[in-house]
């Protein structure tokens, strides 16, 4: 689908397998192109459970203007790539443009490090609840939280609700509706 709207998804070693593959395949089914970007292009990264995912591109080469949103999967990967200046820059740009910023489980570490969760209602793994609150966000223990262009969920069991939230926000943004 060369003219399909594109979604950026961060990828790296020890990602949570389901939190990459379920959204990736579901978004492709919904007509989106999904670009998995890692620290390096064309590298096979292994998930926490050993499932491989090849990066389509390097994070450093990405422009937020090429995408309608970004997915931040969990696992141990977010704690590593959230330290990259380009990851934080991209997330800040997605937020500034009111584009989808979606995080599941420990993926919330990335928007936290980008400084974009202040005054946002969100959720994530209970393991990062303190980090979310210390970032100035309101933590809600719910399967999905949609706040404007932000979508968040707690764990792999929440993936169906997470994707419905993502598709809701993407539907509004692609129709040009306000996300307030």
Give how far the C-alpha of residue 77 lies from the chain's centroid of Cα atoms, to the nearest Å.
12
Exposed/middle/buried for residue 44 (C-beta within 10 Å: 0-12, 13-18, 19+): exposed
- Given 49, 95, 106, 149, which residue is catalytic? 106
Whether residue 49 lies in the annotated active site: no
Half-sphere exposure of 155 (CA within 13 A, CB side): 8
Alpha-carbon distances, residue 102 vs 21, 98, 127 (angstroms): 15, 12, 18
Catalytic residue numbers, as ranges: 106
């Amino acid at each position: 689908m060369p003219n399909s709207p594109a979604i950026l998804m961060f990828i790296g070693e020890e990602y949570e397998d389901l939190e990459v593959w379920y959204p990736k395949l579901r978004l492709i089914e919904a007509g989106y192109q999904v670009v998995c970007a890692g620290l390096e292009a064309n590298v096979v990264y292994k998930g926490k459970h050993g499932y491989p995912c090849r990066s389509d591109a390097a994070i450093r080469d990405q422009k937020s203007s090429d995408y309608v949103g970004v997915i931040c999967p969990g696992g141990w990967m977010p704690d590593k790539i959230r330290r990259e200046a380009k990851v934080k820059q991209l997330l800040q740009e997605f937020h500034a443009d009111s584009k989808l910023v979606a995080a599941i489980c420990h993926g919330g570490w990335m928007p936290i490090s980008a400084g974009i969760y202040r005054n946002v209602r969100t959720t994530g793994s209970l393991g990062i609840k303190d980090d979310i609150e210390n970032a100035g966000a309101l933590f809600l223990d719910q399967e999905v939280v949609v706040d404007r262009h932000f979508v968040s969920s707690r764990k792999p069991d929440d993936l169906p609700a997470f994707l419905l939230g993502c598709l809701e926000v993407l539907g509004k943004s692609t129709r040009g509706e306000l996300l307030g």
